[in-house]
Structure formats: structure tokens, C-alpha cells
């Protein structure tokens, strides 16, 4: 499969716990994006990498959120001290240049 993959697909965690999600982009894509989507809304931008450099970060991304792309390939998104408001679908997308973005299947996070 040559699409964007994300792991895990579902995560249930208790409030206050830390969680980490992984995204593997399409191999030749140097741009990687994280979005968050809640029910009935469109995806909201969180952060963007070009290769290993994190070039943009949304104000939505509080200091509890951190993202990395250490070797310019896969990326991780960590949420520390999760809150119920963090419950959402976390989507990863990649693109070759400034072209259309291809989305992965998402990680659905439920914070209880």
C-alpha cells in the first residue's frame, strides 16, 4: 500500500495520560501536515513539516502538543496530559510539493 498510514487507528485514554500517534507519509512526499477534526467540522490545521523542519504551527497547538519528523520521513504527534477536549480525529496528510494533500485514515482519540 503506497498511501499515507497512521497508527493507531483508535486510541482510548484516561484524562491526564500522554499519547503518541505516528504517521508514515507517501514515500516521495517531502511535506507532511497534521490536522484535527471534530464531528461536524472540517479539518483544522495543527502543524506542517517540510522534510524534517517544522515550518508552521497553529495557535491551536498548545504547549501540551508536540510534533516531530526526525529524519524527514515518518512523523509523531504527542499530546501530554490529555484533556477531554482533545477527543477528536487526528489526520495526517502529505504532499510532494504545494499540490493536493493526501490524507491518511486518521487516529480517533477518545479521552475519558
Partner 1 sequence: GQNIDQPTEMTATEGAIVQINCTYQTSGFNGLFWYQQHAGEAPTFLSYNVLDGLEEKGRFSSFLSRSKGYSYLLLKELQMKDSASYLCAVRGRSTGFQKLVFGTGTRLLVSP
| CB count in 10 Å sphere of residue 38 | 12
3-state class of 93 per DSSP?
Answer: strand
CB atoms within 10 A of CB 11: 18
Positions 88 through 107 that interact with partner 1 (CB under 8 A):
91, 98-106
Least distance from partner 1 to the Cβ atom of residue 81, Å: 26
When asked if residue 36 is in the footprint of partner 1 (CB under 8 A), the reply is no
Q: Is 42 in the site for partner 1 (CB under 8 A)?
A: yes
Tally of CA atoms within 13 A in the half-sphere of 88 that contains its CB? 21
The answer to the question of residue 56 lying near partner 1 (CB under 8 A) is yes
Grid cell for residue 11: 486510541
Q: Where are the beta strands (DSSP E) in 8-101?
A: 10-13, 19-24, 31-37, 44-50, 53-57, 65-68, 75-79, 88-95
User: For partner 1, which residue of 43, 75, 82, 94 counts as binding (CB under 8 A)?
Assistant: 43
Which of these ranges, 14-22, 50-58, 69-77, 78-86, lies near partner 1 under the rule CB under 8 A?
Answer: 50-58
Residue from 7, 24, 44, 68 in contact with partner 1 (CB under 8 A): 44
Residues that bind partner 1 (CB under 8 A): 31, 33, 40-45, 48, 55-56, 58, 91, 98-106
Amino acid at each position: 500500500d503506497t498511501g499515507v498510514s497512521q497508527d493507531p487507528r483508535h486510541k482510548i485514554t484516561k484524562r491526564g495520560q500522554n499519547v503518541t500517534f505516528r504517521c508514515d507519509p507517501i514515500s516521495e512526499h517531502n511535506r507532511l501536515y497534521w490536522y484535527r477534526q471534530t464531528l461536524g467540522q472540517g479539518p483544522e490545521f495543527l502543524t506542517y513539516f517540510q522534510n524534517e523542519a517544522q515550518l508552521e504551527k497553529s495557535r491551536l497547538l498548545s504547549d501540551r502538543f508536540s510534533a516531530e519528523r526526525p529524519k524527514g520521513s515518518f512523523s509523531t504527534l504527542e499530546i501530554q496530559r490529555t484533556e477531554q477536549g482533545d477527543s477528536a480525529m487526528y489526520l495526517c496528510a502529505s504532499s510532494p510539493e504545494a499540490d493536493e494533500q493526501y490524507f491518511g485514515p486518521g487516529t480517533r482519540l477518545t479521552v475519558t
